[in-house]
């Protein structure tokens, strides 16, 4: 069993979905978890729920992680509450889909800002602490869309592909300091968004997955917990696809 007792994690986009599942799993493994999202009420509720369920210490932070000043203030607040930070999970992301010829400048820019710029800002702040500690785990959530592309998601695909390049570069920079940096590329995961699909859409998606099913958020959380652990010490700079075989 993965043991994260005595370690501190920060998870962005943690109020719901994959981010919440990841924060919950890290707390279940014993980590103190800082949950971050833009909606103050939602993130406070998520932190309280995880603390009640796991008995672990949680902290809620409302922040716009695409903004440099906000990220600096966030990490100042985190390190005042907990003196160390061993684990960073860059999960926050948004979509503003549309065909390339009709996509607005602001829709492209905002997706890049939240999905990719935030990874840079949070990782830069975290690495400063991790280097002093001579230990750290950075896990970035990318997507199969960042690997294979997707019509109608040029902005999202660009942001997720950027995360892959960032992950590999970051891994090379910090490997000698006992810090790893890896990316997870989920396929179709059961969520509120996939539940809203009609039956024809679901049938088409399932036909493209060799395993014949969508993944669960808990499966992504399990992989994240492994990458956050000491057991993954020799694994860095990798993009781990967890997609039921879609990328084969």
Give the residue numbers marked as catalytic.
Answer: 156
DSSP code string of 168-187? HHHHHHHGGGTEEEEEEEE-
The tokens describing 103, both together, are 């996509």
Cα separation, 23 vs 16, in Å, equals: 10
Cα separation, 74 vs 8, in Å, equals: 15
Cα separation, 128 vs 132, in Å, equals: 7
The tokens describing 230, both together, are 């000491």
What angle, 0 to 180 degrees and rounded to 10, lies between the N-to-C axes of helices 217-228 and 17-28?
50
Cα separation, 29 vs 187, in Å, equals: 25
Contacts with 23 (C-beta within 8 Å, 6 or more apart), sequence order: 9, 11, 14, 33, 35, 46, 50, 58, 89
Cα separation, 44 vs 34, in Å, equals: 11
Contacts with 119 (C-beta within 8 Å, 6 or more apart), sequence order: 90, 140, 163, 166
Decide if 57 contacts 32 (C-beta within 8 A). yes
Instruction: Name the DSSP class of 114.
Output: I
* Residue 235: count of CB within 10 angstroms of its CB: 14
């Amino acid at each position: 069993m993965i043991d994260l007792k005595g370690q501190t994690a920060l998870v962005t986009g943690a109020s719901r979905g994959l981010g919440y599942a990841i924060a919950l799993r890290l707390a279940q493994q014993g980590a103190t978890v800082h949950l971050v999202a833009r909606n103050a009420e939602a993130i406070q509720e998520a932190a309280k729920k995880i603390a009640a369920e796991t008995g672990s210490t949680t902290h809620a932070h409302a922040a716009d992680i695409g903004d440099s000043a906000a990220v600096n203030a966030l990490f100042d607040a985190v390190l005042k509450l907990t003196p160390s930070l061993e684990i960073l999970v860059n999960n926050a992301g948004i979509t503003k889909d549309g065909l390339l010829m009709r996509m607005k400048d602001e829709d492209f820019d905002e997706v890049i800002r939240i999905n990719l710029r935030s990874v840079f800002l949070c990782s830069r702040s975290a690495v400063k602490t991790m280097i002093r500690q001579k230990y750290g785990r950075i896990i970035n959530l990318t997507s199969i869309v960042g690997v294979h592309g997707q019509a109608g998601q040029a902005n999202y695909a660009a942001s997720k592909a950027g995360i892959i390049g960032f992950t590999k570069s970051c891994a090379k920079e910090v490997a000698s300091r006992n810090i790893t940096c890896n990316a997870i590329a989920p396929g179709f995961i059961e969520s509120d968004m996939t539940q809203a699909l009609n039956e024809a859409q679901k049938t088409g998606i399932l036909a493209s997955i060799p395993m014949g099913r969508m993944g669960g958020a808990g499966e992504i959380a399990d992989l994240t917990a492994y990458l956050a652990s000491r057991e993954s010490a020799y694994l860095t700079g990798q993009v781990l696809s967890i997609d039921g075989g879609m990328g084969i």
